[in-house]
Structure 1
């Protein structure tokens, strides 16, 4: 094989490999000799079929396989000989070699990983904002949990429904007098003020009594997923079968025992742990963001355009999927901003990977086994297949390993940093985080149930539209680098959440604020 370099410009490389006809022929002969013992043909004993007959019957297929093997060997040899570290999969263009006696020319185009400059990892000065979980925080968490556990009782016959009451109703919807699919239902329960229904529907139920029949007029949102209903005015014939009032929930040991716990004190202990974990998460989010800001400002080196493009496409797809219709109209004007976000993510990913390698940061086999087990737990009944997949697929394993590797590098850097603590309130910490985000998170996207309600299982809310640039905010808020495996570029993979005890899971739900107030960013988002 001969190798000719055709391009050496920045991180771009090009090579032309010539694989001789004799080398291909030798691989074909080797393949024929390998399969000969298994070939069966009438008139010949097993394994005694002449090679010329095997060549005549299977030569074309064996030649294709031989060429594929020759190309793989040639490209792998090129990478080893030139000590090339490809940023992405090389692009190959084959010319010739299809016929006997014909050389094969392979054009190889690729981008290489850059030489990352050494980083001074000692003595980085950072400020850490800390928040102490107060008794008031714990009491508020208990109250939220109690609110979630409330029940309802039948209201007096003449009671008029108000916000907070539960209305049970049958309904039948129509547009221009014509009923539509999914627009009828019986016995639906709705808590007034919950925001579950189409805008205006719950308001139309305020003041109704048991036995009332009423026509509620609403307009489907313009971004409603059913195109035949989006933006349309509709009428729902409603019959109220019951109105129920919320019972007062007493915060005492009974509340805890109803959740499977021994006492209110035990419940408060669990909630305190959850509150502290959430506050620690906010603290780490802010601290990690400042660390990455420092690294980004201190390092500037060329990054592979192919990696930047791949990262951009991931960000762009996420933004497009989560953007409101209003945002989508202006997205193109911000394409350049997201391109710079992608470049920063890739640069930080490569930098963190280099720092980790040079300082011996590793993901242990035990940690890797745990990651695989967590991922396999998401596919019940297929756990063995998932484990086998990661055992046999090095790139998939690298993708799974990369986020944990990044977190360990961050921990390594924070362990060497000069960190000063400053106590603040939760509101101040959230404000510090949000000050680096352009807008707060918006509400969820509309669902696809065509009646007045939206099934809770869908996780949507028809009562509010996403805040402007909500998707953009979500794409940049976590301030993370693009996860890069120790030896190869790898796209981020969502990790399966760890399982919790039932009581802890219930308690955790009470700790979370309403979506409009939450400031803790989610993982696996783009860096600002």
Structure 2
């Protein structure tokens, strides 16, 4: 085999591969064995006609398609290795010569890892966010815990509907005396003040008791989605069946022992504070890493290969599809609801994908230059750390990570080492920030995450 390489640009090469004639003869033989059962020659049982007669009867070209596949599958990976080419996509193949008794020659154009100059990565000047947890935030989390442990109970005989109560109702809505779709319900639990129903429907129920009936009058908005009722007056016959309210527990030591492993309220608050502090540290760390890689990326000129960007977009679209499916929405439904198509969805992720790929290339270049690797002990420790988060199947998950997902685990460990190196040599300016009003929000993925390429 002879391989020559022509560099087309910073991210694409063309290989010309020449295989000796004997290799083509061998591939034609393999193609004959695969296809002879489907080729009929008069005077021979199906599958028994010799190669010479198949060539005479059909022409040797009938065997070329499979012979080409055999030759390419065997020679292309070897050609890449021989030329020391790191391909990142499927090649564009062009057969230059395929004639029995002669050399088999083809070219393969393929995108490769781009060549670029790694900028100076030591001494990056960036902000280091330091998130401070306040007592108000601890109390805020405690309030959420109280809300989650509230009990819904009937208010009992003689109680009246008040704001934030849950009124259990039957209702029958009519426009011009005629029932309309979606205007009826039985044993419906309506939270007063939640604005689930149009206009001041809920307000008109305030002050009613269980057993009371009332005609509630409302007007549908002009932009209401149902054509038959938009802009029209409606009357609802409403019957109050029951009135419920949410009762919240007293926040004391007894509450702490019921909702947690702790005996006292102070211990519970200390645990909440510890959790918030850990979250704040993680958030600050992620933002610092994002600032570091962004500062480095701004100094780098990389012609990012399209194949790597498309692979990154594939992953982002898959993740997006999974997220909306968890909310009960299929991708087809989402496209219909938003008036988008698959192309606009992909374009939505394109800039972020470009950043992810660029950052990954920089991280891997630093790994190579610094000789950064992951030891077996570090991989085991990382697997244990991840497995701990899932509890019960900890040992099984750890084994799976160390075997099936070892490459991803290695990337996680080595990437962390790169960021530690960048931080160690960076010029950091600490900026104190508050974590208030950010609980329960998913922080966006940072650009350095996602390693899409192999």
Per the shorter chain, which TM-score range?
Answer: 0.5 to 0.7
Q: Rate the CA distance shift 1:274–1:60 in 2: closer, same or farther, 3 A.
A: farther
Retained in 2: the 8 A contact 1:346–1:482? no
Kindly indicate whether residue 447 of structure 2 is the aligned counterpart of residue 484 of structure 1. Answer: no
**How much has 1:299 moved relative to structure 2?**
1.5
Higher mean displacement: 209-218 or 272-281: 209-218
8 A Cα contact 2:152 2:247, kept in partner: yes
Instruction: Decide which structure has the larger Cα Rg and report it.
Output: 2
Which stretch of the first structure deviates more once superposed, 200-209 or 114-123? Answer: 200-209
Q: Give the alignment's TM-score, normalised by structure 2.
A: 0.68
Q: Which residue is 2:44 aligned to?
A: none
Q: Report the CA distance shift for 1:188/1:90 in structure 2 as closer, same or farther (over 3 A).
A: farther
1:211 aligned onto 2:222? no
- The match for 1:495 is none
**2:265 pairs with 1:264:** yes
Question: Gapped runs of 5+ residues in structure 1?
Answer: 35-48, 431-440, 442-473, 491-528
The DSSP-based 3-state class of the residue aligned with 1:110 is strand
* SS in structure 2 of the partner of residue 68 of structure 1: helix
After the TM superposition, which parts of structure 1 deviate over 6 Å for at least 4 consecutive aligned residues?
30-34, 59-65, 172-176, 218-224, 227-237, 316-329, 331-338, 371-375
CA contact (8 A) 1:210 1:240 kept: yes
Confirm whether residue 423 of structure 1 aligns to residue 390 of structure 2. no
1:139 aligns with 2:139: yes
**Deviation at residue 346 of structure 1 after TM alignment:** 1.9
Q: CA deviation at 1:29?
A: 5.5
Deviation at 1:254, TM superposition (A): 1.9
Partner of 1:296: 297
Q: How many residues align?
A: 410
2:380 maps to 366
1:100 to 1:174, Cα distance in 2 relative to 1, 3 A: farther
CA distance, structure 2, for counterparts of residue 153 and residue 325 of structure 1:
41
Q: Check if 1:346 corresponds to 2:357.
A: yes
CA root-mean-square deviation = 5.3
Distance 1:235 1:410 in 2: 64
Residue 274 of structure 1, CA deviation: 1.8
Instruction: Give the CA deviation at 1:166.
Output: 1.9
> Do the aligned partners of residues 358 and 7 (structure 1) sit closer, same or farther apart at CA in structure 2, a change above 3 Å counting?
closer
Greater per-residue strand proportion? 2
Name the residue aligned to 2:41: none
- 8 A contact 2:172–2:237 mirrored in 1: yes
> Secondary structure of 2:114's partner?
coil
Question: CA offsets, 1:474-522, max 9 Å, x none?
Answer: 9x9544136336xxx25xxxxxxxxxxxxxxxxxxxxxxxxxxxxxxxx
What's the TM-score, normalizing by structure 1?
0.60
Partners of 2:382 and 2:171 lie apart in 1 by: 53
- C-alpha deviation, 1:86, in angstroms: 1.6
| 1:177 counterpart SS class | strand
Partner in structure 2 of residue 411 of structure 1: 420
Structure 1 distance, partners of 2:230, 2:241, is 29
- The whole-number CA distance in structure 2 between the counterparts of 1:407 and 1:187 is 55
CA distance in 2, matches of 1:191, 1:141: 24
Once residues 318 and 141 of structure 1 are traced to their aligned partners in structure 2, the CA distance between those partners, rounded to angstroms, is 29
Question: Residues of 1 paired with 2:167 and 2:310: CA distance?
Answer: 52
CA distance in 2 between counterparts of 1:60 and 1:369 reads 54
Change (3 A) 1:159 1:310: same
Q: CA deviation at 1:22?
A: 2.5
Structure 1 position 402, deviation (Å)? 4.5
Superposed CA offset, 1:352-371 (max 9, x none): 12112322333454267569
Paired with 1:324 and 1:218, the residues of 2 have a C-alpha distance of: 32
Is the Cα contact below 8 Å between 1:161 and 1:167 reproduced in 2?
Answer: yes
Aligned positions of 1:57-206 closer than 5 A: 67-93=68-94, 104-155=104-155, 157-170=157-170, 177-179=179-181, 186-194=186-194, 197=196, 203=202, 206=205
Shift of 1:30: 7.5
1:210 Cα deviation from its structure 2 partner: 2.2
Given the superposition, is the C-alpha separation of residues 178 and 202 from structure 1 closer, same or farther in structure 2, using an over 3 Å criterion? closer
1: distance between equivalents of 2:170 and 2:347?
A: 51
